[in-house]
Structure 1
Amino acid sequence: MQPSALPLPHVAAPFGAVAPECAADAGSWCSRVWSWTGMSWLARGADATVSVLFSVIGIVLVALIVRFVVNRVIAQISAGAGVPGLMSLLRRGRGVTDAESIEAFGSARRAQRARTVGSVLRSAATILIFGTAFMMVLSRFGVNLAPVLASAGVLGLAVGFGAQNLVKDFISGIFMLLEDQYGVGDHVDLGDAVGTIEHVGLRTTSVRDVSGVVWYVRNGTIERVGNASQDHAVAVVDVPLELDTDVEEAGRVAEKAAREAVGEGLARDVIDPPRVLGVQAVTESALTLRLTTKTRPNRQWAVKRAITERVVSDLRTASAPTGTATAA
C-alpha cells in the first residue's frame, strides 16, 4: 500500500482569533493562509494579493515576450530578410526598382543605415512596451494613473523646452537616415561644411574637407544637402580653346580622346561613354569646350583627371601640324 499524502501544515490560531468568512471556502487562498498562519488579517487579503501578484507576473512576462518578438522582427527587417516592400519604401522616389533596391541594400552603406534605424526602432519599442507594462502594473496596485500621466506630461514638456535643440537634432537625424540623404563616403555640401562624410549619427554628422579638417555638423542645423555621390555622378571636363579653333574638329578629337582615356583602366567606373556638349562659354581670349560622362559614385574626379590629361594632349598633338585645334 502506498502511504497517504501528507496533509497541509496547520498552525493553530492564536487564542481569541476569529476565522474570516472567506476561510470557509476550502479552495481559496484565504482558507490556505488561515490554515498556515492563523492570522485573520493576512488571510482576508490573501486572495487579492495573490491575484495582483499573478497579474503583475503575467504582465511582465507578456512584456518580455512582446519585446523579444518585436526585436527579432526589427532585426529581420534591418537585415533585409523578405521585406522588399520596406526597402523599396526607404529607397522610393529615385527611379529605381525593387530589385535594384534589394541589391543596393547589401552594400556597406545600406547595412550601416539599417543598423542605425534598427537600433532606433528597438529603443523606441522597448520604451513603449515597458512603459505600457509599468502603467498596467501600477493600475493593478490601485494607483490612480491620471495624476501620474499629468505629472509625466508636465515633466516631458519641461524637458522638451530645455532640450529642444537636442530633440530637433535627433528627429532630423532619423529623417535623414530614412530618406537616405547621404551616407558614409559620400561627397556632400552641407552649407556649413563641404567634404566627405566620415560618420552619420542621430545627433551629428562628421565631414572631412579637402584640407583634412573634420567638421561636426548638428543634424538640426542642416537646411540643405548637396550630394555628389547619390546613385551616380557626372564628370565634367571644360577644355579652353583659342578663339580661331575649328570647334567641330576639336570636338571630334576631344570625344575620341575621352573615350580612349576611359577605356584604359576606367571602363568599370564609367556608366555612359563620354560625349561633347559643345561650346560652354566664350570670353575675349578663349572659348570653352565641355565634355561630360556619367560615372559611378565618387569616381567622377579620377575620370575627370584622366579625360582632361588625354584630351589636352591629343588636342595639342592634332593642332601641331594642321593648326586646327589648340588647347589654351
Structure 2
Amino acid sequence: MNQLLSEPPACIRETGTWCQQVYDITGNDWLAASAGWLVAKPVKILIILVIAFVIRVLVRKLIDRVTTIPSGNGRKLPALLRPLRERAPDVLGPMVVERRRQRATTIGSVLKSMSTFLIYGLAFIQVLGEVGINLGPIIASAGIVGVALGFGAQNLVKDFLSGMFMMLEDQYGVGDVVDVGEASGTVEAVGLRITTLRDINGTVWYVRNGEILRVGNSSQGFAVALVDVPLTYNADVDRATEVIAEAAAAAADVEPMSANVLEPPEVLGVESVTPEGIQIRLTVKVRPGKQWAVQRALRARIIASLEDAGFEPPLGRFFGSSQNTPPAGG
C-alpha cells in the first residue's frame, strides 16, 4: 500500500506537460499531479484577462478616434456621424460644434459601455469554463434576474432606447428651439435619459426622453414668420394690404433682416373677422430660429407705415401672431 501511495503520477512521463516540468523542478508528486490547477489554469486565466483588457483598450481608442471632432476644423463631422443623418441648421453657428460634439460623445459612451460589457462578459465566461464551473444554471439564473430587472427598470430602459434613437436620427440637438409638450424652449443639453430645455422665462426643464411623445422643432430647414395685422371695420382693406406689403418688402431688404429672410414677404389677405376688427395675415419664409426676430421687426415697420398712411389699429388690440411665444433670445 505504501508503495502505491509513493508511486509517481503517470503524467510525469508525458514530455512537455506542466506535470512533467513541475516534477523535474520540485520532485514532489503532489505538486506535479496538481500542476494543472496550480500553474496551467492560473496562467490561462491570466492570459484571458490580459487579452480582454488589451482588446478593450484598443476598442475604446478606436471609438474615441471616430467620435472626436478633428482639431482645427470644428465644422467637420466626426467619422462616426458621417453615415448618420444630420439636421443641424447652419444658423446655429458655433453651437453646431457643441451639438456635434455632444452627440458624438453620447453615442461613443454607449458604444464604450456595450463593448466593455461584451468583452468582459465573454472573458468571464471563458474563465468560468477554465475553472470547470457548469455555466448552464448560471445562465438560467442570469436570465431570470435579467427579466426581473427589466420589469423593475422598464422606465429607465424606455428612456435609454428613446434617447438612443433620438441621437441616431438627430431629431433635435443643442441650440434647437423645440416644443416637447409640457415644456418648450432652447435645448441646452441632450443625454440618453434626459433632455434639458431652457424656456423664455429662464426656467430649466429636465424632460425624460421616454416621456416625449412628439417633438416640434422650430430650427430645422426653414421657419415662417407670421404676423396678423388688426384693422378697424371701416378701414380700406385693399389700401391697407398695399401698405403692409410695401412696408414688409422694405423691411426685408434692410440689414440685418435681409440676412434672415429667404423669400419675399407675402400678404395672404383677410385672415379673420373678430368683434374687435379685421385681421390681415402676412407671412415670410426665414432661416430657422429667426422667425421671432423677423416678426418683431415687421411689426415695428408695419405699425409706423400704417400710422403714416392714416390707419389706426382697433382699440385694445395689438399687432400679434398666432405662433408660440419665442424662446429666450429668440
Scaled by the length of structure 2, the TM-score of the pair is: 0.79
Structure 1 residues 236 and 161: alpha-carbon distance in aligned structure 2, compared to 1, 3 A threshold? same
CA distance in 1, matches of 2:183, 2:215: 10
Structure 1 residues 184 and 83: alpha-carbon distance in aligned structure 2, compared to 1, 3 A threshold? closer
Q: Is the 8 A contact 1:30 1:45 kept in 2?
A: yes
CA distance in 1, matches of 2:210, 2:255: 44
CA distance in 2, matches of 1:62, 1:247: 81
Aligned residue in 1 for 2:124: 134
Secondary structure at 1:130 match in 2: helix
After superposition, the CA RMSD in angstroms is 3.1
Aligned residue in 1 for 2:143: 153
CA distance in 2, matches of 1:107, 1:122: 22
- Is residue 2:172 matched to residue 1:182? yes
CA distance in 2, matches of 1:120, 1:144: 31
Counterpart of 2:101, as a letter, is: A
Q: Is the 8 A contact 1:186 1:197 kept in 2?
A: yes
Aligned residue in 1 for 2:298: 307
Structure 1 residues 105 and 149: alpha-carbon distance in aligned structure 2, compared to 1, 3 A threshold? farther
Structure 1 residues 118 and 84: alpha-carbon distance in aligned structure 2, compared to 1, 3 A threshold? closer
Whose radius of gyration is greater, 1 or 2? 1
- Is residue 2:71 matched to residue 1:77? no
**1:138: Cα distance to partner?**
0.9
CA distance in 1, matches of 2:77, 2:103: 16
Aligned residue in 1 for 2:16: 27
Q: Is the 8 A contact 1:205 1:217 kept in 2?
A: yes
Q: Is the 8 A contact 1:77 1:83 kept in 2?
A: no
CA distance in 2, matches of 1:69, 1:113: 22
- Is residue 2:273 matched to residue 1:287? no
**1:246: Cα distance to partner?**
3.9
Question: Quick one: percent identity of the two aligned structures?
Answer: 48
Aligned residue in 2 for 1:269: 260
Structure 1 residues 58 and 223: alpha-carbon distance in aligned structure 2, compared to 1, 3 A threshold? same
CA distances 1:55-89 after superposition (whole Å, capped 9, x unpaired): 32332233233323332332233236798996465
Q: Any gaps of 5 or more consecutive residues in structure 1?
A: 1-15
**1:105: Cα distance to partner?**
10
**1:228: Cα distance to partner?**
1.8
Secondary structure at 1:298 match in 2: coil
Structure 1 residues 106 and 265: alpha-carbon distance in aligned structure 2, compared to 1, 3 A threshold? closer
Aligned residue in 2 for 1:90: 84
Secondary structure at 1:282 match in 2: strand
Structure 1 residues 116 and 153: alpha-carbon distance in aligned structure 2, compared to 1, 3 A threshold? same
How many residues align structurally? 302
Structure 1 residues 50 and 274: alpha-carbon distance in aligned structure 2, compared to 1, 3 A threshold? farther
CA distance in 1, matches of 2:301, 2:223: 20
Counterpart of 2:31, as a letter, is: L
Aligned residue in 2 for 1:162: 152
Counterpart of 1:303, as a letter, is: V
- The one of 44, 49, 55 equivalent to 2:44 is 55
Structure 1 residues 274 and 76: alpha-carbon distance in aligned structure 2, compared to 1, 3 A threshold? farther
**1:44: Cα distance to partner?**
2.1
CA distances 1:124-150 after superposition (whole Å, capped 9, x unpaired): 111111111111111122111111111
Q: Any gaps of 5 or more consecutive residues in structure 2?
A: 71-75, 315-330
Where relative contact order (Cα < 8 A, 6+ residues apart) is larger, the structure is 2
Structure 1 residues 231 and 53: alpha-carbon distance in aligned structure 2, compared to 1, 3 A threshold? farther
- Is residue 2:37 matched to residue 1:43? no
CA distance in 2, matches of 1:78, 1:173: 17
Q: Is the 8 A contact 2:67 2:80 kept in 1?
A: no
